[in-house]
Structure 1
Amino acid sequence: MMGTQRVEAQLFYEFDLDAHVPPNHVLREIDRFLDMGDMREKLKPFYSHTGRPSIDPELIVRMLVIGYVMGIRSERRLCQEVHLNLAYRWFCRLGLEDKVPDHSSFSRYRHGKFRDSDMLRHIFEATVERCLKEDLVSGEGFAVDASLIPADANKARSIAAKDWSEDVARAASNRAAKEYLETLDDAAFGAASPVQPKFVAKSDPAAQWTRAEESRPYFAYATNYLIDTKSSVIMDVEATRAIRQAEVGASQTMLDRTESRFGIRPDWLAADTAYGSSDNLGWLVKKRGIIPFIPVIDHSNRKDGAWTRFEFEYDEANDQYICPEGFALKQFRRNYSDPNRGKNVRGTRKYRALKSDCQSCPSKEKCCPNAACRSVSREEHEDARDFARSSRKSKAYKVSRDKRKKVEMLFAHLKRILNLTRLRLRGPNGAKDEFLLAAIAQNLRKLAKLRPKTVQTEATA
């Protein structure tokens, strides 16, 4: 006999929402580590003492965390999912009869109280503190890298850089253009490089027209991660334009901020060649005392097969180079009253041999076949570059090279699992908000994975 399902109407129901959330659900694990205890105190100065009560800001944050943890990119869809999903309601502290906020509430909080109070940065740092408490951070070695995230900008609605100006940005009168004008002096955006891109997006002028390897050009921002290599905990995150100068500057900003906020300075830093500039290596070695496991940017190789600069030995005591044949290459042959004479803008010094020595040298064809005499240049922070080269020969460098790949794995997780393949928000502030929320979600997922409560319960039983 075929059965039929009957729905009997009842006047009262007994329903325990907590009992319907599986014990190993990812949100149940994350809920243990999401700390917003002092959030209301930080937001209190931004609320009026009169008027109707607002939507609980903790509810807004919890819904945003769900969106980024579960890869729900649309805020309209997020509201629908929270309305329907029991686990989402439980995480947001909503009962069955409680109303889900409208999607427009996110914009009001994002452009108002959250940015004014820097709330998302505070929540991110709270997750890092919890990782420190759970012993997931060693502080011994860090790794840094950047990844491009396409911006919400269309090439068809862009203009040539030669036609772009501050007056055009003011005439656009949108929020992203106003943020662009506010960040013209910011080292991470407008002041990162004097070079203008080929195109500028009117809808998001701060987005950089760029091209990744084997891809078509597009508008993008760069998300910069500074991670601890022990458990891949994100120690800091920064949004910048998608250019190398801004990314290198962001690495220094994140290292300073991590030391100031948590009192942690790593013994060594692993990064790729983009971070191997002379200025950055000098900053790491001389100012911060950090061992740079970073390949050095070096353009000293000769295409004509002649001796490279490494064939010449530097005599620090006499400030000169000695060539393989024993001749001296000096910066000056007589004393000058001006100590800056002979330096260019970047502080590079050039050492030259005597023409008479080179003309009579038996190895001239190996040394300077196309010049009357040989010259060797020395960067301002050449001692830091030499230290970085020597560090590459150590066994620790090989270990750091493998650990540096953990940053790339986080970027892959960001795009494939959290579904952050394109930004929804525009402007520098929009990029900062999205990258902070994504880093919060990744740290929370890391805590849930490495410190699960269900495993501890089973072990105790």
Structure 2
Amino acid sequence: MLQPSKQMTASFHAELYKLIPEDHPLRKINEIVDFTFIHDLVRSSYCEHYGRPANEPELLFRLLFLQVLYNLSDERIIQETQVNLAYKWFLGVNPEDNLPDPSQLSRFRNHRLGAGAVDEVLISVVRQCIEKGLVKSKTIIMDSTHTLAASQKQKPLEVLRDAAKRLFRVVVKKHPKLEKKLPKLPGLRKEDQEDAEKIMLQYLANLGETVELLLPDHEGSISEKVRIAKAIVEDERLLANKGIMSAIDPDARFGWKSNTKSFFGYKEHIAMTEEEIITAVEVTEGSSDDGKQFKELLNQTLDAGIEVHEVIADTAYSGKDNLEEMKSKQIQPVVPLNPIVHNGGLRQEGFEYNKDADFVICPAGQHSIRKAVQGSKQSGNSRSLVFYFDTEKCKACPLKEGCFKPGAKSKTYSIRIVA
């Protein structure tokens, strides 16, 4: 049950809050940002009149804010706040008051807020910053950074086995009587790895279909495990070690920081003002193209009320469509032109140029191994940058049909460079 926001009651111990310096960062943040907007944001996820009284959304949200600000875990932020006067003052509680259990932070973050609320939180905070005069520039900076996945990369057989075990376990835990009706995990032989993967793939597909048949109205953790199982079964690149690589974190992918350094996880695409106030965030898999997030970042920024006259970004954002979008909105681009990103001709669907690594990635996840320029400057004709792929990998590729001709000595991908 959602309760109205409570005020801090008078307490003898509240006198201790006078020890917090007036220039403390949390005092400044509290003065500028009104966090009461969170009540309206999460109201629909609470029952307003029935059930046990819930902890205040604003209290939990402020705890999440402190957690991110000081980079603390759920357990650690509760421990630190219990003995930190500034933290408790920021929460609006008395020094002697108890704090929520750490598990409530996870429930609030996942079930009350959810990933979809991030944009609304940003918009609310940015608009307050504008009203308080903190945003004076009309320039937006765009870039991306990477975040490592919370799980380790797995081989296809490990992904399939873990997904099957997790689905089987959660169904049996909630519906013990169904255990005998679920297909049993097959015994796999080590000597035939390829067949073992295919057997496990078939088992996972069969298990998922059985669960949906027995529990057509499944929800919660069962629905999540079923969704993951479906995604793994339908991933054409799985057995080629280029698709889903974790049953725990199926959305994580390999990305590249350079042509020799890779990472397994996600990309965080960010737009921010010159005052370093973040106005938009998009999280994608690690292999995604930075430039494709431009329009969404720009639109989120404009929706927050920021007046944009100039955009500063690197060459990944120099595509023609992005430049045309800025021109249509009378925004000055400060973006170095990359001839491959900006002037490249028609692109074959599924192939993407990675600016950081300077290679092309095919739909199967393989990257080119070398490149060469074809055409002459003197002739006046357009030149092409040709990227070459490893044909041995192409021969065994699950997506080779229509892409790699049997018996071909090479597999190339060309990008036209207009002179």
Give the TM-score normalised by structure 1: 0.54
Looking at both structures, which has the greater relative contact order when contacts are Cα pairs under 8 Å and sequence separation is at least 6? 1
Match of 1:251 among 279, 283, 294: 294
Q: Show structure 2 runs of 5+ residues with no match.
A: 1-10, 160-193, 212-220, 350-374, 385-416
Give the aligned residue type for 2:296.
Answer: T
Match of 2:122 among 118, 124, 128: 124
Q: 1:124, CA displacement in angstroms? A: 2.2
Aligned to 1:224: 269
Aligned to 2:337: 296
Aligned residues: 293
Answer yes or no: is the 8 Å Cα contact 2:26–2:86 preserved in 1. yes
Give the aligned residue type for 1:209.
Answer: F
Answer yes or no: is the 8 Å Cα contact 2:279–2:301 preserved in 1. yes
Q: 1:366, CA displacement in angstroms? A: 7.1
Q: Distance in 1 between matches of 2:123 and 2:312?
A: 22
Q: Show structure 1 runs of 5+ residues with no match.
A: 1-11, 185-189, 301-308, 310-341, 347-363, 369-373, 379-384, 390-461
Q: Cα RMSD over matched residues?
A: 4.2
> 1:358-373, aligned counterparts within 5 Å?
367-368=378-379
Aligned to 1:144: 142
Q: 1:166, CA displacement in angstroms? A: 12
Answer yes or no: is the 8 Å Cα contact 1:240–1:250 preserved in 2. no
Aligned to 1:207: 252
Answer yes or no: is the 8 Å Cα contact 2:78–2:102 preserved in 1. yes
Give the aligned residue type for 1:289.
Answer: Q
Report sequence identity in percent.
Answer: 24
Q: Distance in 1 between matches of 2:25 and 2:283?
A: 28
Distance 1:150 1:179, change over 3 A: farther
Distance 1:120 1:280, change over 3 A: closer
Q: Distance in 2 between matches of 1:209 and 1:345?
A: 21
> 1:101-180, aligned counterparts within 5 Å?
101-115=100-114, 118-138=116-136, 140-156=138-154
Q: 1:77, CA displacement in angstroms? A: 1.0
Structure whose alpha-carbon radius of gyration is higher: 1
> 1:58-457, aligned counterparts within 5 Å?
58-72=58-72, 74-115=73-114, 118-138=116-136, 140-156=138-154, 197=242, 200-213=245-258, 217-229=262-274, 231-245=275-289, 247-262=290-305, 264-285=306-327, 287-299=328-340, 367-368=378-379, 375-376=381-382
Answer yes or no: is the 8 Å Cα contact 1:158–1:202 preserved in 2. no
Q: Deviations over 1:224-276 (max 9, x none)?
A: 111222x222221121122342x2222210111222341x4522211111112
SS in 1 for 2:67: helix
Q: Distance in 2 between matches of 1:224 and 1:93?
A: 33
Answer yes or no: is the 8 Å Cα contact 1:244–1:274 preserved in 2. no
Q: Distance in 2 between matches of 1:249 and 1:17?
A: 51
Aligned to 1:34: 33
Q: Distance in 2 between matches of 1:101 and 1:43?
A: 18
Aligned to 2:56: 56
Give the aligned residue type for 1:275.
Answer: Y
SS in 1 for 2:294: helix
Answer yes or no: is the 8 Å Cα contact 2:155–2:245 preserved in 1. no
SS in 2 for 1:32: helix
Q: 1:154, CA displacement in angstroms? A: 0.3
Distance 1:80 1:136, change over 3 A: same
Q: 1:345, CA displacement in angstroms? A: 6.8
